[in-house]
Structure 1
Amino acid sequence: MKKIVSIVVLMIAFGFSANAQSNLKLESDAKSKDQNVKEMAYSELRELSSVVELTPELKNDFLTLLVMRNEAVNNAKTYEEKAAIYERFGQKLLSGLSEQQSKKLSENKELYNKLTNLKYSMK
């Protein structure tokens, strides 16, 4: 009887440890995905601020907007959904700029398309 109980206990312990290891792997994958989203947003913000002069408050707002866009694109299932997200967030980004800033950004076609159009950002 003691052997049966010890075998059952060992099986349960092994099951818990295997499950814990898989949960740790999923958590680390999620953290690395979040980090990539933020790195992409920082990169895009640096490119934008090199073309257009931004206040610290506006930089913070745009960083939040870019992180939200990148997360939404990562969670989208189809290309059409991703394109719609890029268009929607591109309009939000442009509405946050003044007329002069928007004109300056539109003169830089490559960056403008990268920030507002999914097709150009995938290249």
Structure 2
Amino acid sequence: MRILAMIAALIVAAEHVGFLVLEMFLWQSEAGMQVFGLTAEEAAQTATLAANQGLYNGFLAAGLAWAVLRGNREFTRVFLLCAIAAGVFGAMTASPTILYVQAAPAAVALVLSFTQKGDRYN
């Protein structure tokens, strides 16, 4: 289960790298506008905000990957809880879909992180 917990957390980190790319680099592209249901005008007006949000997703991905690769489950859990909180807030304020795309995978990874005793993966 240790490996499964680590893989699940790394998948969440990879998801957040994907969010970074969408929000920082693809926001005003056809793909970005389609994913977020934006018009070209809406995308142009919100591009700076989206880039800032993408940067935060990048920090979350980096922290989560760092924690997993260092073998520190306590920090992994902190970053997973941050991803869950962001997903719940996003679902409440932006789109309910965010609950399933962001919060649910992080919640699964968090549960899996409790499948082994101790504060380290090794």
Normalised to the residue count of structure 1, the TM-score between the two structures is 0.42
The structure richer in helix per residue is 1
Higher relative contact order (CA 8 A, sep 6+): 2
Larger of the two Rg values belongs to structure: 1
